[in-house]
A and B are shown apart, each in its own frame.
Chain A
Amino acid sequence: MSLQVENLTVYYQTLRGEVHSLEHANFNLGDGEIMGLAGESGCGKTTLGNSLIYLAPPMKFIEGQVALDGEELPVWDIERMNEFRFKKISIIPQYAMNAMNPTRKIGKMISELLQSRKINYKELLSVIKERLDKVKLPHDVLNMYPIELSGGMKQRIVMVLSTLLNPSLLIADEITSALDVSTQKSVAEMIVKFRDCGCMKSVIFITHDVSILYQIADSIMIMYAGQLSEKASKETIIHSPLHPYTKLLISSLPKVGVKHSEKKLTGIPGTPPLLLNPPVGCRFRDRCPLAFEKCLETPPFVEIEQGHFLACWKEGAPYA
């Protein structure tokens, strides 16, 4: 088991109160597993990703345990996480490729970054070059400025950089969202390739686009309004999901071959609840066609079959 998360609860502190953006997250990640994390904007997927590596204010740790390779991660302590960050657990944040310093050459930027972690750039140079070969970038890029590179190239450099020390876990936050379809594909496939050759053990791939996950992930976890809804193999999530939210979400996605004139797709009526003062119980309750009295209690996220986790009173009942 590469990553074990138990009961992780993280709030956001705002002037108007605490936003309950992640509550009681319980899940495991196997060695070599690429887990896709999907959900609408504001559902807490980025909060989950960030809280595993850099839990800084306004994020506030409430409770929970996280273990990586059997070793407990002090996620609530920014200082102590320093020895894990980048070495054991690494992140590609959203918009990372646009955050490069435009006045630094790529090589200089990497060397400065490594220096801040007290790692010698020269010693790692051979690894860097080998990794650049892997992502099909010429070694010249080290002498280039970010402006000379396309979005896809920048994203690949960020990927090489964040996996240089072969971390156990890589968190990739929306790394394909701003890219064109063709580049999207190659960047996503790079992730699989890196995993296969051991550049990192397992991956949490955060995105709002479920169809990409179907292409590259092993398992998919669906979040809704700060709670985990369902986690299973990608085949199960796409073809036979159980949670009502997953079902409605998958069925609302337009696919090539579906025409409006032939088959009209439907969205999910309603909007997600505000997480400032979230309703008690299952947060999908108001929009759920199956909701009943029991849903006033929060459904636990339990394993109903091998590798299939679900938080729903109704659909989970037959397995209880």
Chain B
Amino acid sequence: MLKLDSVSKIYKIGTFGGKELCAVNNVSFDIKDREVVSLIGESGSGKSTIGKMILRLISVTSGHIFFNGENIASLKNNGLKNYYRKVQGVFQDPFSSYNPIFKADRVFRIIHDEFYPDVSGKDWNIKVEDSLRTVGLNPDIVLNKFPHQLSGGQLQRFLIARALLLDIQFLVADEIISMLDASTRIDVLNLLADLKSRGLSILFITHDLSLSYYISEKAVILYRGNVVEMGATDKIFYQSLHPYTKMLMVSVPRLDMKWQENVEAKIDRTMQPGGCVYYERCSAIEKNELCAKSPPPLVQIAEDHFVACFGYKP
């Protein structure tokens, strides 16, 4: 359904744009129909940038994104509008997603005005109420309120209901439950998983591994803009190969396992430009000179399992 082909995003920084900052480097992966793929990374890994590039909110520096075979960079006016009919997003901060001076249901009215101007107001209200019930909200309680009168969980469901009003096929969910409370976040997560049965594909962007395991079939691990490992969720979690993935696995606080004493990475600042992005922090015994010199390519090592590390020998 959605395919990223060698996508990069480079920002020019500094006065006169002299320096370059590579936020996303040569990322390729695809998302099939009815598939939930999670994009896992820490802050600054470029995971949100990828989500925004898919939503055409940020331009792509090089590479292409294809949606159902069509390059999304070429979409204009009506083509782009049609794209948004099928591809939608929900962001991390529910309160910032609403214009604070308007009522929350304005997000529905915008969809009405922009996409379905011909539908009568009455029919539209019925559609909105149906959509709200689908996401588990009571229209009588949540409609006609200002954003600050609703809870974070309600606001996020609102945005999912908004997306459902369109002929949505693909949803970018960018950290949508990280700001919600424990007792309500699981319901939003379940709702997202249920959408799959409606034929949706989802890109689930998160830093929380257990959430990713709960909901997705496939996981992509990002480190400083580079894909270091990707594949079927079970393989990533139980047969992790990249030292970074392994480190994440042992660092995530779990309720069924205690933290192990981890090997402190020897901080090695001798890295030359062009080496492996993880070189500095890598504590693998396989670490060698090659790692410092050239970036390891992402290679397939099993069905549905890719890793970018010289240390791995099949």
Q: Given A249-B182, A267-B183, do A257 and B213 touch, yes or no (CB 8 Å)?
A: yes
Contact indicator per residue, chain B 182-218, by CB within 8 Å of chain A (1) or not (0):
1111110110010000000000000111110111000
Whose C-beta in chain B lies nearest to the C-beta of A41?
A: B181
Query: What count of chain A residues pass the 8 Å CB interface test?
Result: 37
Interface residues of A in 190-216 (CB under 8 A from B): 208-212, 214-215
Shortest distance in angstroms between B76's beta carbon and chain A's nearest beta carbon? 38
Report if A255-B256 is in contact (Cβ < 8 Å); known contacts: A208-B181, A260-B190, A271-B151: yes
Given the complex of chains A and B, what is the CA–CA distance between A182 and B213 in angstroms?
18
> Do A211 and B193 touch (CB < 8 A)?
no
| Residues of chain B contacted by A180 (CB below 8 angstroms) | 42-43, 207
B310 at the interface (CB under 8 A from A): no
B253 and A266 within 8 A (CB) = no
Task: Say whether B254 contacts A211, CB under 8 Å.
Answer: yes
A250 beta carbon closer than 8 Å to chain B? yes
Residues of B contacting A265 in the complex (Cβ-Cβ under 8 angstroms)? 186, 190, 214
Majority secondary structure of chain B interface residues (helix, strand, loop or mixed): helix
Taking a contact as CB atoms under 8 Å apart, the answer to whether B209 and A256 are in contact is yes
Nearest-CB residue, chain A, relative to B177: A254
Q: Contact string, A242-286, partner B, CB cutoff 8 A, digits 1/0?
A: 000000111011111111110011111001000000000000000
Contact (Cβ within 8 A) B182 A252? yes
Bound Cα distance A212, B253 (Å): 5
User: Quick one: given A180-B43, A266-B186, A267-B187, are A254 and B210 in contact (CB under 8 Å)?
Assistant: yes
Q: Does B59 contact A (CB under 8 A)?
A: no
Please determine whether B182 and A211 come into contact, CB atoms closer than 8 angstroms: no
List of A residues within 8 angstroms of B247 by Cβ: 182
Tell me, rounded to whole Å, the shortest Cβ–Cβ distance linking A234 to chain B: 10
Is the beta-carbon distance between A254 and B181 smaller than 8 angstroms?
Answer: no
Q: Cβ of A315 < 8 Å from any Cβ of B?
A: no
User: Helix, strand, loop or mixed for chain A's interface?
Assistant: loop
Closest to A136 in B: B264
Which residue of A214, A248, A264 is within 8 Å of B253 (Cβ)?
A: A214
> Which residues of the partner chain A approach B251 to less than 8 Å between Cβ atoms?
181-182, 184-185
B210 engages A256 (CB within 8 Å): yes
User: Bound state CA distance, A17 and B87, in angstroms?
Assistant: 46
- A238 part of interface (Cβ distance < 8 Å): yes
User: How long is the Cα–Cα vector from A136 to B187 in the complex, in angstroms?
Assistant: 41
Residues of chain A contacted by B262 (CB below 8 angstroms): 185
Answer yes or no: A189 CB below 8 A from chain B CBs: yes
Measured between beta carbons, the chain A residues less than 8 angstroms from B252 are 181, 256
Interface: A40 (CB within 8 A): yes
Render B173-184 as a binary contact track against A, CB cut-off 8 A, 1 for contact: 000000001111
Interface residues in B243-278 (C-beta closer than 8 Å to A): 247-248, 251-256, 258-259, 262, 264
Minimal Cβ-Cβ distance residue in B for A271: B151
B98 within 8 A of A: no
Number of interface residues of B (CB under 8 A): 34
> B67 contacts the other chain (Cβ, under 8 Å)?
no
Tell me if B95 is interfacial: C-beta within 8 Å of chain A: no
* Set B182, B186, B213, B259: member contacting A185, Cβ < 8 A: B259
Residue B237 at the chain A interface, CB threshold 8 Å: yes
Residues in B whose Cβ lies below 8 Å from that of A212: 253
B255, A40: Cβ atoms under 8 Å? no
Residue of B nearest to A180 (CB): B42
Of all chain A residues, which has the CB nearest B152? A41
Known: A266-B186, A267-B187. A258 touches B181 (CB 8 A): no
Closest Cβ–Cβ distance, residue A260 to chain B (whole Å): 4
Interchain CA distance A38-B271 in the complex, whole Å: 42
Other-chain contact of B186, A181, A215, A254 (Cβ < 8 Å): A254
Contact, CB under 8 Å: A185 / B151: no
**Interchain CB contact under 8 A, A40 and B256:** no
Residues of B within 8 A of A208 (CB): 181-182
A261 CA to B193 CA in the complex, in Å? 9
A181 and B207 contact, Cβ closer than 8 Å, known pairs A215-B258, A253-B255? yes
The distance in angstroms between the C-alpha atoms of A311 and B126, with both chains bound, is 45
B183 surroundings in chain A (CB, below 8 A): 40, 248-249, 252, 267-268
The reply to whether A255 and B254 contact each other, CB–CB distance below 8 Å, is yes
**A228 and B189 alpha carbons, distance in the complex (Å):** 28
Among residues of B, the one whose C-beta sits closest to the C-beta of A216 is B259
Nearest B-chain residue to A151, judged by Cβ: B43
For window 44-62 of chain B, which residues contact chain A by CB distance below 8 Å? none
Residues of B near A256 (CB, < 8 A) are 209-210, 213, 237, 252, 254, 256
B184 and A267 within 8 A (CB): yes
Q: In whole Å, how far is B281's beta carbon from the nearest beta carbon of chain A?
A: 8
Residues of A within 8 A of B255 (CB): 210-211, 214, 238, 250, 253, 255
Tell whether, in the assembled complex, residue A209 and residue B253 are in contact, meaning their CB atoms are under 8 Å apart.
yes
Known pairs A181-B252, A182-B251; A259 contacts B213 (CB<8 A): yes
Q: Are A264 and B189 in contact (CB under 8 A)?
A: no
Contacts of A252 in B (CB 8 A): 182-183, 186
Question: Which A positions have Cβ atoms within 8 angstroms of B?
Answer: 40-41, 136, 180-182, 184-185, 188-189, 208-212, 214-215, 238, 248-250, 252-261, 264-268, 271
Interchain residue pairs with CB less than 8 A apart (22): A40-B183, A181-B251, A181-B252, A182-B251, A185-B262, A238-B255, A249-B183, A250-B255, A254-B210, A254-B213, A256-B254, A258-B210, A258-B213, A259-B214, A260-B214, A261-B193, A265-B214, A266-B187, A267-B183, A267-B185, A267-B186, A268-B184
Q: CB within 8 Å of A: which residues of B? A: 42-43, 151, 181-187, 189-190, 193, 207-211, 213-215, 237, 247-248, 251-256, 258-259, 262, 264
